[in-house]
Chains A and B, each alone.
Chain A
């Protein structure tokens, strides 16, 4: 990122340049999405890419790790707008602590066998983030020193952040906001979208 915010819309070039440089260094594909440098790497180069980002590019700060459950078959919320390949997308963001550069790494995991190597050796901070992703999505992190539950109680069944996991309280009682929604001022002609589109949300 550049230091001058007024340039954000026009500084696509330096960001894209940086994205390409990172992608080349770690052996992935880089893109800039709304000011965020995102680099897609193959799953087998997951740990190595992070090691290179830390050692060669100076991205020493571990910001976060998480996942996205891509599927059209959702129990909660709206499904994706188009066709998607069923998969988990692993995401991390690492940054420097000087110029403010940051990179979001991404890789795809099959849902049949969601196993990925742990980043704890590279970034110690990945420890808790991986424990969270493990219980929330059911992803296994190979080489993690202590892959126990972080938030959830031991008796908890299921992986709550998977799209197939229902929001149980909403199953029992519908969200009251969709029942007593006030009509928008002057919107008598147009149907009130929140209540019709997704009645059980």
Chain B
């Protein structure tokens, strides 16, 4: 509420003779508040309308995946990691699988890499569409939700058609990808490729997404209430962001044109032409705008990838029982929420010796005590929503 801030300052500076008693009060937000996207609890000291000493309490969704990974095999772990950030489940699998493939020194067929890339971008679009739906809703505008979720459902239907799962695809295999055809002995009798018409339907869905992005922009960008509540609110300077490890769209909104898709090599992004949208000042509005712009860029990438997808197998030759040779590596990827990475330590077994999961939302919300210091209580909702975190991605 940028307008109100001036008013408050004005009132506090003019000498009003009546002194208003505003004793400190402790305010609990959550753990089951809708704006927390999961179960996050904030304990804040409230003085009048302003919050101080905001203390996030996390761990309500801690599932211990790092420990669990030590007793699971590599193929079993993909089913765990796509539950970390469930809004973009597919995108979580890729860096883990790439890390294992790196240690095994497997060359993944090009067609499989392209399919991974297309599905990753579809996961990004669907994740950003959830943000486009929920963020205006938290600020009181319900209409964009219907536009965004309609398109998201189309994307999820396509993902389900290929992988068999809307949220938890479990589609990646070490050495490639595995479309969902039958099970058990039937698998071998069917052609190992994507369902017929997938590319045509995806092209169609991408067109729709581009259309709805324009619609959402016209709904939100012209909404004076949303502008007043987001412009100049929740400013995040670059130096604070990087020292806290804030990554992804939240960092780019502060003006840093840094995208792991441009500098890391986990998928063949270097073959495609796309831009890195950045914000101007790093407020809530910029964080909203960057995500909208990223939807358009992802649509561009998908269109190019479909045009250029090579033919060939979807799976490299791998042993029946996957054993990853001794070694360690860190593989990070640009996920919809930011930098998602896995530090994989293998000792030659069927499962990792240690798997450190670096999730984007964890570092992104570690900024909360800093960014919420002294803001108005209603702005807490606006700022939290703009950081676009998912508690599964925080707690792992």
Contact = CB atoms under 8 A, between A and B. Distances in A.
A5 B245 contact: no
- Give the dominant DSSP class at A's interface: loop
Contact of A150 (B59, B243, B320): B59
A164 interface: no
A63 B258 CA distance: 14
A66 to B, nearest CB: 4
Contact of A125 (B62, B70, B243, B349): B243
A175 B270 contact: no
Contacts of A123: 243-245
B351 A77 contact: yes
B330 interface: yes
Interface in A64-108: 64, 66, 68-69, 76-81, 91, 93, 97-100, 102, 104
Interface of A: 1, 3-6, 8, 33-36, 38, 60-64, 66, 68-69, 76-81, 91, 93, 97-100, 102, 104, 123-125, 127-128, 136, 150-153, 160-161, 163, 165, 167, 170, 175, 177, 182, 184-185, 187, 193-194, 197-198, 201
A153 B58 CA distance: 10
Interface of B: 58-59, 62, 64, 66-68, 70-73, 76, 102-103, 184-185, 188, 239-240, 242-247, 251, 256, 258, 260, 262-266, 268-270, 320-321, 326-332, 339, 341, 343, 345, 347-351, 353-354, 356, 358, 362-363, 366, 370, 395
A124 B243 contact: yes
A97 B59 contact: no
Given A36-B328, A97-B251, A151 B76 contact: no
A11 B76 CA distance: 32
17 contacts: A3-B262, A61-B242, A61-B245, A62-B363, A69-B354, A80-B347, A97-B256, A97-B258, A99-B263, A104-B343, A123-B245, A124-B243, A125-B245, A151-B62, A151-B395, A165-B67, A194-B321
A148 B62 CA distance: 16
Contact of A68 (B266, B321, B345): B345
